[in-house]
Structure 1
Amino acid sequence: MTDVTSTHNVHLSDAVERIQPSGIRRFFDLASSMENIISLGVGEPDYTTPWNVREASIHSLERGMTSYTANAGLPELREEISRYQMERFHTPYDPAEEVIVTVGASEGLDIALRSVVNPGDEVLIVEPCFVSYAPLVSLAGGIPVAVPTRMENDFQVDVEDIRSRLTPQTKALMISFPNNPTGAVMGAEELEKVAALTIEHDLIVLSDEIYAELSYDQTHVSTAALAGMWERTILISGFSKSFAMTGWRVGYVCAPAVYARAMLKIHQYAMMCASTMAQYAALEAMQNGRVEMEEMVASYRQRRNFFVKSLREAGLSCHQPGGAFYAFPSIRATGMTSETFAEKLLVEQHVAVVPGHVFGEGGEGHIRCSYAASMSQLEEAVDRIAVFVKDHA
Structure 2
Amino acid sequence: MSLSNLANQMNQSSSLIRKLFTEGLKLKQIHGKNNVYDMSIGNPCLVPPPEFKKTLISCASENEPYIHGYVPNNGILEARQSVSGLIKNLHNFNVPADNILMTNGAAGAINVLLRCIINPGDEILTFKPYFAEYLWFARVSGAKLIPIPTKFENNFQPEMETISKYINKKTRAILFSNPNNPTGVVYSQSFLNNVGALLDENSKKYKKPIYMIGDDPYQRLVYDGAKATTVFKSTTNSFSISSFSKDLSLAGERIGYLAMHPQQKYASEFIPALTTANRVLGFVNANRLMQKVISKCINYTVDIEEYNIRRKIVINALRRSGAPFVEPKGAFYVFPKVPKGMTDLEFVNILKDRLVLAVPGVAFGTPGYVRICYAYDLNTLKNGMEIFVKTYKEFNGAFDEKKREYENISNTVEMKI
Q: TM-score, normalised by structure 1?
A: 0.90
Return the alpha-carbon distance in structure 2 between the equivalents of residues 193 and 118 of structure 1: 26
Aligned to 2:384: 381
CA RMSD of aligned residues (A): 1.6
Identify which of 294, 297, 315 aligns with 1:282: 294
Aligned to 1:29: 22
Identify which of 375, 382, 385 aligns with 1:372: 375
Compute the displacement of 1:187 (Å).
1.1
Return the alpha-carbon distance in structure 2 between the equivalents of residues 284 and 249 of structure 1: 17
Identify which of 207, 221, 226 aligns with 2:229: 221
Identify which of 275, 281, 291 aligns with 1:264: 275
Aligned to 1:251: 256
Aligned to 2:247: 242
Aligned to 2:349: 343
Structure 1 unaligned blocks of 5 or more: 1-10
Q: Could you tell me which amino acid in structure 2 is paired with residue 21 of structure 1?
A: S
Aligned to 1:3: none
Identify which of 80, 83, 105 aligns with 2:82: 80
Aligned to 2:306: 299
Asked if the contact 2:131/2:364 (under 8 Å) is kept, the reply is yes
Aligned to 2:47: 48
Return the alpha-carbon distance in structure 2 between the equivalents of residues 254 and 117 of structure 1: 18
Asked if the contact 1:314/1:382 (under 8 Å) is kept, the reply is no
Aligned to 2:402: none
Return the alpha-carbon distance in structure 2 between the equivalents of residues 191 and 171 of structure 1: 17
Return the alpha-carbon distance in structure 2 between the equivalents of residues 382 and 248 of structure 1: 30
SS in 1 for 2:298: helix
Compute the displacement of 1:332 (Å).
4.3
Aligned to 2:338: 331
Structure 1 stretches of at least 4 aligned residues deviating more than 4 Å after TM superposition: none
Compute the displacement of 1:357 (Å).
0.6
Residue by residue over 1:341-371, the C-alpha shift from the partner in whole angstroms, topping out at 9 and shown as x without a partner, is 1111011x211111111011xx211000011
Compute the displacement of 1:286 (Å).
0.7
- Greater mean deviation of Cα atoms: 212-221 or 233-242: 212-221
Return the alpha-carbon distance in structure 1 between the equivalents of residues 286 and 321 of structure 2: 45
Q: Could you tell me which amino acid in structure 2 is paired with residue 259 of structure 1?
A: F
Q: Could you tell me which amino acid in structure 1 is paired with residue 212 of structure 2?
A: V
Compute the displacement of 1:15 (Å).
3.5
Tell me: CA distance 1:175–1:12, structure 2 relative to 1, closer, same or farther (3 Å): closer
What are the within-5 Å matches in structure 2 for residues 121-140 of structure 1? 121-140=122-141
Q: TM-score, normalised by structure 2?
A: 0.85
Q: Could you tell me which amino acid in structure 2 is paired with residue 383 of structure 1?
A: E
Compute the displacement of 1:279 (Å).
1.5
Aligned to 2:322: 315
Residue by residue over 1:297-322, the C-alpha shift from the partner in whole angstroms, topping out at 9 and shown as x without a partner, is 22222322231121121121111011
Aligned to 1:39: 38
Aligned to 1:206: 213
Size of the aligned set, in residue pairs, is 370
SS in 2 for 1:305: helix
Return the alpha-carbon distance in structure 2 between the equivalents of residues 138 and 114 of structure 1: 11
Structure 2 unaligned blocks of 5 or more: 204-209, 262-266, 397-417
Return the alpha-carbon distance in structure 2 between the equivalents of residues 61 and 297 of structure 1: 27
Compute the displacement of 1:57 (Å).
2.4
- Greater mean deviation of Cα atoms: 136-145 or 161-170: 161-170
Return the alpha-carbon distance in structure 1 between the equivalents of residues 379 and 215 of structure 2: 31
Compute the displacement of 1:107 (Å).
0.1
Return the alpha-carbon distance in structure 2 between the equivalents of residues 50 and 206 of structure 1: 29
Asked if the contact 1:156/1:185 (under 8 Å) is kept, the reply is no
What are the within-5 Å matches in structure 2 for residues 182-197 of structure 1? 182-197=183-198
Return the alpha-carbon distance in structure 2 between the equivalents of residues 55 and 74 of structure 1: 20
Asked if the contact 1:138/1:144 (under 8 Å) is kept, the reply is yes
Residue by residue over 1:196-245, the C-alpha shift from the partner in whole angstroms, topping out at 9 and shown as x without a partner, is 1111011111111111111213211101123xx1x200110111111111
Identity of aligned residues (%): 28
Residue by residue over 1:99-152, the C-alpha shift from the partner in whole angstroms, topping out at 9 and shown as x without a partner, is 011001110111111110000011111121111111111110011111122221
Return the alpha-carbon distance in structure 2 between the equivalents of residues 57 and 69 of structure 1: 18
Return the alpha-carbon distance in structure 1 between the equivalents of residues 386 and 114 of structure 2: 42
SS in 2 for 1:171: strand
SS in 2 for 1:201: helix
Compute the displacement of 1:48 (Å).
1.2
Asked if the contact 1:103/1:274 (under 8 Å) is kept, the reply is yes
Asked if the contact 1:52/1:284 (under 8 Å) is kept, the reply is no
Q: Could you tell me which amino acid in structure 2 is paired with residue 273 of structure 1?
A: N
Asked if the contact 1:53/1:285 (under 8 Å) is kept, the reply is yes
Aligned to 1:161: 162
Return the alpha-carbon distance in structure 2 between the equivalents of residues 23 and 80 of structure 1: 36
Asked if the contact 1:91/1:222 (under 8 Å) is kept, the reply is no
SS in 1 for 2:70: coil
SS in 2 for 1:114: helix
